[in-house]
A and B are shown apart, each in its own frame.
Chain A
């Protein structure tokens, strides 16, 4: 009997003390590199080193705390007005130092040496390296904790999880043989596609399709013949912002003589998808998934009408 008492008291003590302990270090999280960053107070000068990170910060309502972004950060448009610290791979360390950041969000695109250098300089770096939609959501939660906006973070996370579930609940019901074959094309010379382990693969799979390149790892070339042999019924074509090659690529897929026997081309089911939307690990991954769901199953999710 006394044992139970002791254990109960012990548990109660833990329950009472743990919030106090965690309250003394409220802003702490471990990043993809295994580094645990602890901040004594919510950051007021945040630098984002990738477009995806910038989108996360804006979505968490931290736009006034952002002091530096990359030249590629164009979403939301207000990001364009922020101070630039370089592009994604070439980063101006001096600029970062003069901006006196109290939080730097690095990404999988940030060169390792840059991240190491930032650590050496004792700057508060946190690296986001998500490879799946779930990890993106997790990362958003971590950033919200670090930035002291846990509340808006959990709201955003909940909305994302709900919307994700809405889509996957419906696509899970689709029997495997009714899942259309989807081919995603990034470049035509050579043919460059997205295999398993990419966001694209997850979008296609979660949206109730089957990626014809799923036997390939990551982004890679694929033998031209394989497109004909695997005969996708849907082709998604990457579209770069304001570049002429999106037309070139789309034109290639829809007009090249060699692709005319492919079901997707015959049935006019070739769709342009925004490259930034489908490649950035940020809050819009759910929108990207929704678009893929509309492309693959318009009968369930309605017509694909990107903004």
Chain B
């Protein structure tokens, strides 16, 4: 596939995302309403509650979903490339279990700093976990990727046990924990968007600027090094930036599975594994996929809202198996 064709596909993905965003803004009361969409352009004619619904509930939710979807699939693509392992997902360094432990601590300790408490705790714990894994995976000045991967898995198991213990002890507060673990954009507000946005503005350009280095990693670390890539520095920076992005996502929306694992694979099947196209394409497709998962979560059982994290795994797992069975392109 030539560059022009790949760029066309990215353009199509952008158009799909924009159309999905517009469609999502019109979803209310369990169905799509054109009138809702038109209302966005004439806010003065709306009542306070209609204005609140559109501009303070639906819009921040849309933006948050897009940001988280982009962050997860982009991080997934980067980490899969870095570790040269198709099973790697954004949570591989223990971020999700770290974030969950943070959430449990926030709930059980009863510390209350307002509505920021839970996101703050999960963010700090998620990052701390990543640093712990990076530290454990470091041998001398080097960070051997397979050791780090195993360290991440081991810490993940350890923290899962802590989570189970916390949930066992949580008793009546169990429901909060269950919701957090299922992931969702239930209570998205501008506050959450504003907290997440700086991480994005700084993180995304950095990740994109490492496309060439990631391409070199495809040939193995040794070859990358011989090609003049500062392997250790690249690993350090990319692990740090993706950890920040994923920890930020986890702190505002809980653990949303499968998007970060499956979306990069889909893109690889379509346009190959050149990171210069793979990264932006994953970015846009990840947003769209999570947006649609959220649309389904709000409409399938309306007025009941389903957890998005459950939907992504429900839809993602069978699709992933289908991709595996096709075996068209090996990893």
Contact = CB atoms under 8 A, between A and B. Distances in A.
Contacts of A261: 47-49, 52
B2 interface: no
Contacts of A257: 52, 56
A190 B303 contact: no
A220 interface: yes
Interface string B292-329: 00000010001111110000000000000000000000
Interface in A173-193: 187-192
A78 interface: no
A244 B57 contact: no
B176 interface: yes
Interface stretch (B5-13, B181-189, B255-263): B181-189
Interface in A224-247: 224-226, 228-229, 231, 240, 243-245, 247
A10 interface: no
Interface residues of A, number: 35
Contact of A87 (B28, B171, B189): B171
B187 A189 contact: yes
B209 interface: no
Contacts of B303: 213, 215-216, 222-223, 226
A259 to B, nearest CB: 8
Contact of A225 (B58, B168, B172): B58
Given A187-B176, A215-B303, A248-B112, A224 B186 contact: yes
Contacts of B179: 187, 189-190, 192
B29 interface: yes
Given A189-B187, A225-B29, A228-B49, A258 B57 contact: yes
Contacts of B154: none
B185 to A, nearest CB: 9
A245 to B, nearest CB: 7
Given A248-B112, A260-B52, A261-B52, A223 B302 contact: yes
A258 B306 CA distance: 21
A136 interface: no
Given A188-B187, A191-B186, A229-B29, A243 B175 contact: no
Given A190-B179, A229-B29, A260-B48, A222 B305 contact: yes
A210 to B, nearest CB: 15
Contacts of A225: 28-29, 53, 57-58
B330 interface: no
Contacts of A187: 175-176, 179
A160 interface: no
Interface string B25-49: 0001110000000000000000111
Contacts of A247: 112
Residue from A221, A247, A256 having most chain B Cβ neighbours under 10 A: A221
Contact of B298 (A192, A223, A245, A262): A223
Contacts of B114: 248
Contacts of B53: 225, 228-229
Interface string A99-111: 0000000000000
A57 B305 CA distance: 39
A252 interface: yes
A195 to B, nearest CB: 8
Given A229-B53, A258-B189, A252 B115 contact: yes
A222 B48 contact: no
A228 B187 contact: no
Residue from B47, B112, B187, B298 having most chain A Cβ neighbours under 10 A: B187
Contacts of B49: 228-229, 231, 261-262
A87 B307 CA distance: 28
Nearest to A251: B114
Contacts of A262: 49
A67 B172 CA distance: 24
Contacts of A216: 303-304
Interface in A64-106: 72, 87, 90
Nearest to B175: A187
B140 interface: no
Nearest to B299: A223
Contacts of B304: 216, 220-223
A224 B112 contact: no
A228 to B, nearest CB: 5
B110 interface: yes
A218 B216 CA distance: 55
B110 A228 contact: no
Residue from B176, B186, B307 having most chain A Cβ neighbours under 10 A: B186
B186 A189 contact: yes
**A-B CB proximity, top 7 nearest:** A190-B186, A261-B49, A261-B48, A189-B187, A221-B305, A228-B49, A226-B303
Given A222-B305, A225-B28, 11 more contacts: A191-B186, A191-B305, A221-B305, A223-B304, A229-B28, A240-B172, A244-B112, A248-B115, A260-B48, A261-B48, A262-B49
28 contacts: A187-B175, A187-B179, A188-B187, A189-B179, A190-B179, A190-B184, A191-B187, A215-B303, A220-B304, A221-B305, A222-B304, A222-B305, A223-B304, A225-B29, A225-B57, A225-B58, A226-B29, A228-B57, A231-B49, A240-B172, A245-B112, A247-B112, A248-B114, A256-B189, A257-B56, A258-B56, A258-B189, A261-B47
Interface of A: 72, 87, 90, 187-192, 213, 215-216, 220-226, 228-229, 231, 240, 243-245, 247-248, 252, 256-258, 260-262
